[in-house]
Structures are given as structure tokens and as C-alpha cells.
Structure 1
């Protein structure tokens, strides 16, 4: 199946917010400071759109199956965050589809020489995927719960 990454639209807000089905899931996938429940009308403000561009992974029918954001942290470095695949669509390789497209978009939109992200250490599938995509661990910038990873692009 073909997938497309497009800027997140207001019609996707309730869908993505629905994936955050508990306070714990909201903290894990959206981060501190994002309310639970996340009302669709508060989505853009809570996730700092458009300063941190949000992107939706859509299938051929236009169904939103994934979401991610990126933002500049330092000159030449873009951070990927809030990377989430619909709970109903996990296990089908969509994380790879989302990450490949999101990385390409972050690089296309900037002069970044490095991409970074944080991943929960207890998510071995995501850690393995990111390593497979060229991200390397940076223990110096990590904390016990979260692994900081970076990928040089140049």
C-alpha cells in the first residue's frame, strides 16, 4: 500500500488526540504539558503548531495512521518528536514509513546536518527501528527512562 505524509489538518486533530486514551499515554506520546483529554480545538496550541510542524501519515483512502513533528533545537539540528502510530495500525511497519517520510521532510525543509530524537528505553521495537534508520545512541544526553539518539545527515 502507498502512504503519503502531509501537513496535519484540523480534520486529523480528533483522530490523533483519540490515540492518547489515558493520562499515561498522553504523557508518553505527547509529552508533559499536553492535557488529557486533548480536545481537538486545543490540539494546535497544545502541540505548538505551526512552530513545530505536524505531519500526518495517510493511507490511500486518506485515513490518518501516524503523526510526528520536528523542530529546530540548535542551528543545524532538527529534533523529531511526538512520533506515534495509530494503536489499531501498529505492527504493520508504519513506524518505518512514518519515520522515513518524516526524516526526509525535516531535511527537505531545513539545512539540518543532524536529526535527533528521544525514545523510551522500554520500547525495544522503536529503538531497533531508529538504529536501523541510522540513529545512534547518545548516553551522555540520555536519562534513565529516555534514550537520546542522533543521526548525522552530512
Structure 2
């Protein structure tokens, strides 16, 4: 099955927002200050898409099955965030497809010397995936709840 990463379109906003089924899921995925429910007409502003490009993973039928963002940090790194796969599409390896494509896009479009991300420690599937993709945990920059991970660009 072929998947393609493309910039998020307004037609995807409601689909992605629909994956967030509770205030807790919204807080966990999108962060503080993002409302639940997340209205489609507030999506771009709530996720600061003008400063933090959003990307969707589309399946062979053009359905949106994943989303992620990246933004440059003052440190020279590029931070990946709000990485999510549709609940209906989980367990099929799409997290790897999304992350591989998103990392490649971030490197291609920025001057990143490293990619960084934060992941909830209890999300063991994501932690394992990120480790497998070359991300290394940094306890010094982590919190009891969130693991900070980085991957050097060579």
C-alpha cells in the first residue's frame, strides 16, 4: 500500500480533530491551550500551522491516516510534534511510515543538525519506534511524564 506525505489541508482538519475523543486525549496530543472538542475552524490557529507546518499521511485512497508537525528551534534542532495516527489505522505500521516521511521532510526543508521530540513514557510502542529510528533518550531534558529524545543528522 502506498502512502504519501503532503501538507495538511483544511479538508483534513475535522478528520484529525475527530481522532481526539476526550479532553485528556487532546491535552496529551495537542498540548495545553488546545480546546476540546477542537473545532475545524480553530484547527490552524490552535496548532499554530503558520509557524509549525503540519503534514498529513494519506493512504492509497487519499484518506488521511496520520498527522505530524515540525518546527525549528533556536538551538538549531528541528522539533517534531503532534505525531498521531488515526485510531482506526493503528497497529499496521503507519507510525513508522509517518515518522520516516516526516523526518525526511523536516531534514529536507530545514537546516537541522538534529531532530528532537517528546513522547509520553507510558507510550511504549512509540518509544520503541523512535529508538528503532535512531532517536536516543536524554534523561537530563526529560520529565517524569515525558521522555525527550534526539536523533543527530549525519
TM interval, shorter chain, is over 0.9
> Residues 16-64 of structure 1, C-alpha deviation per residue, up to 9 Å, x if partnerless?
0000110000001111110000000000000001210000000011000
| 1:74 aligns to 2:63 (yes or no) | no
The aligned runs of 1:17-28 (5 Å cut-off) are 17-28=17-28
Matching residue of 1:143: 143
The aligned runs of 1:47-58 (5 Å cut-off) are 47-58=47-58
Per the TM alignment, residue 75 of structure 1 is displaced from its structure 2 partner at its CA by 4.2
4+ long deviations beyond 3 Å: none
Counting matched residue pairs gives 154
Distance change in 2, residues 1:141/1:75 (3 Å): closer
Distance 1:124 1:26 in 2: 19
Can you give the 5+ residue segments of structure 1 that lack an aligned partner in the other structure? none
- Match of 1:50, SS state, is coil
- Match of 1:45, SS state, is helix
Distance 1:56 1:10 in 2: 11
The question of whether the paired residues in 2 share the 8 Å contact of 1:75 and 1:112 is answered with no
The aligned runs of 1:37-48 (5 Å cut-off) are 37-48=37-48
Matching residue of 1:63: 63
TM-score, L = length of structure 1: 0.99
Distance 2:6 2:138 in 1: 30
Distance 1:62 1:49 in 2: 21
Can you give the 5+ residue segments of structure 2 that lack an aligned partner in the other structure? none
Matching residue of 1:10: 10
Distance 2:34 2:16 in 1: 13
